[in-house]
Amino acid sequence: EPEVTQTPSHQVTQMGQEVILRCVPISNHLYFYWYRQILGQKVEFLVSFYNNEISEKSEIFDDQFSVERPDGSNFTLKIRSTKLEDSAMYFCAIKVGTDTQYFGPGTRLTVL
């Protein structure tokens, strides 16, 4: 299984602050995804990123969210002004082969 790391493992922030979550795949991949899982709820798609562009985004992914791959390896998710309801586990995923997506260990975001 391809290795994907995410940092930090846990982020605590105050409401209104900006956070940046990072995803580092061990080898080169073209397809990246962010998902989130609010405690006790289902995993929800946020955004897909292919060839350094957003290819699809969900209704959750509003103007407060952005993604980029600044240095060709790290893949980041930025939330500009966090809200209480942004508290969740955020998972990065990469696609290998045709359709299989492999998930990183996740970042737990807590907004106070």
Partner 1 sequence: EDKVVQSPLSLVVHEGDTVTLNCSYEVTNFRSLLWYKQEKKAPTFLFMLTSSGIEKKSGRLSSILDKKELFSILNITATQTGDSAVYLCAGDEGAQKLVFGQGTRLTINP
User: What is the largest distance, in Å, between two alpha-carbon atoms of the chain?
Assistant: 40
User: Of 3, 8, 26, 56, which lies in the binding site for partner 1, with binding defined by CB under 8 A?
Assistant: 56
CA dihedral 34, 9, 71, 77 (to 10 degrees): 40
User: Of 35, 36, 82, 111, which lies in the binding site for partner 1, with binding defined by CB under 8 A?
Assistant: 35
Q: How far is CA 31 from the centre of its chain?
A: 13
Stretch that binds partner 1, among 15-23, 66-74, 77-85, 101-109 (CB under 8 A): 101-109
Per DSSP, the three-state class of 78 is strand
Instruction: Please state, in angstroms and rounded to a whole number, the distance separating the CA atoms of residues 52 and 69.
Output: 7
90 is an interface residue for partner 1 by CB under 8 A: no
User: Of 14, 28, 39, 41, which lies in the binding site for partner 1, with binding defined by CB under 8 A?
Assistant: 41
User: Of 48, 67, 94, 109, which lies in the binding site for partner 1, with binding defined by CB under 8 A?
Assistant: 48
Question: Residues 6 or more apart from 63 whose CB is under 8 A from it?
Answer: 80
User: Of 22, 60, 64, 103, which lies in the binding site for partner 1, with binding defined by CB under 8 A?
Assistant: 103
Which residues of the shown chain bind partner 1 in the complex (CB under 8 A)?
A: 1, 33, 35, 41-45, 48, 55-56, 58, 89, 91, 93, 95, 98-106
